[in-house]
Structure 1
Amino acid sequence: MTQQQLAEKVGIKFQQIQKYETGANRVSASRLWDIADALDVPVSFFFEGLDAAEQHQDVAESKSDKVPADILGDKEALDLVRSYYAIPENQRRRLFELARVLSDVA
């Protein structure tokens, strides 16, 4: 897939893809999600082989044993994330904060 084709699938200009590829611009989590979706790979694909990513996963797993190891492979979780990003940004931030508070209490 060319940079132009990827950019079209993600809905941005190919120059932005070039900036991500060279490291000139950081890739936000939501944009990484879009790129993974366009390439038909899980987000974890971009972190394969990184020790830091494995360490982060170990910490996350120790916080909650209720979270599946392959959370993006879970259809319900994937639907939830897609629905979440369909919400307008200001409401999404408020929902995120609510979820954070509820998870801290649980």
Structure 2
Amino acid sequence: MMSHKPQTKTPNAIDVHVGSRIRLQRTLKGMSQTTLAEGLGVTFQQVQKYEKGTNRVGSSRLQAIASILGVPVAWFFEEGPVSSSTSQGSEAGAGREITQFLNSVEGLSLNRAFVKIQDDKIRRKIVDVVKALAREPSE
């Protein structure tokens, strides 16, 4: 007799990546999960599952998400997991850093404020200050 253990399925790495990109673009637009869900005709819980990668997004649904969020479908796959034959090396690592930064509350807040600064000289000075702070040992 077979034992019937509940199987916990791990989400596919690509599904997780696409979900994180959906969340990133949604938050960059300042859109709630509920608003996106209403546009798709699903519950906000379904959007949560898409964003975590626990539910796979079908192609027609991904097209609808892309349309609502104003990005091409291919955007959701950028900087994602790649096979060794198409590895992009350090470029993919940099992309992940950017995604992690923009997925953090501080990163998103800093990005929103930074892009509102019109003066290029001030923007460069802010970058210099952040670089200097990053070199200092924390106390």
TM-score, scaled relative to structure 1:
0.46
For the pair shown, the structure with the greater C-alpha radius of gyration is: 2
| More helix per residue | 1
RCO higher in structure (CA 8 A, sep ≥6): 2
